[in-house]
Structure 1
Amino acid sequence: MIDPELFALAQGGVGTGGLQTWIQENVVPLVLLGIAVILLWIGGRGDNAGVARRSVGLIIGLVALGIAVSGNGPQIGSFLASLLTG
Structure 2
Amino acid sequence: MTTPTLAALIDLAQQQDPSTKVDTNNLRSWILDNVIPLLLLVVALLLLWLGGGKGDNAGVMRRLGGVIVALGIIGLAVTNAGEGIGRWLAGLFTG
TM-score (norm 2): 0.71
- Cross-structure match for 2:37: 29
**Higher gyration radius (CA):** 2
Deviation of residue 12 (structure 1)? 5.2
More displaced 10-residue stretch of structure 1: 44-53 or 24-33: 44-53
- CA distance in structure 2 between the partners assigned to 1:79 and 1:12 by the alignment: 37
The letter for the 1-side match of 2:37 is P
**Does 1:7 find its partner at 2:17?**
yes
Q: CA RMSD in A?
A: 2.2
Structure 1 stretch 71-80 or stretch 59-68: which is displaced more?
A: 71-80
Structure 1: tracts of 5 or more residues without a match: none
The structure whose RCO (Cα within 8 Å, separation 6+) is larger is 1
> How many residue pairs end up in the alignment?
80
Question: Which runs of no fewer than 5 residues in structure 2 stay unpaired?
Answer: 1-11
Q: Which is richer in helix?
A: 1
Could you tell me the percent identity over the aligned residues? 48
* 2:80 pairs with 1:62: no
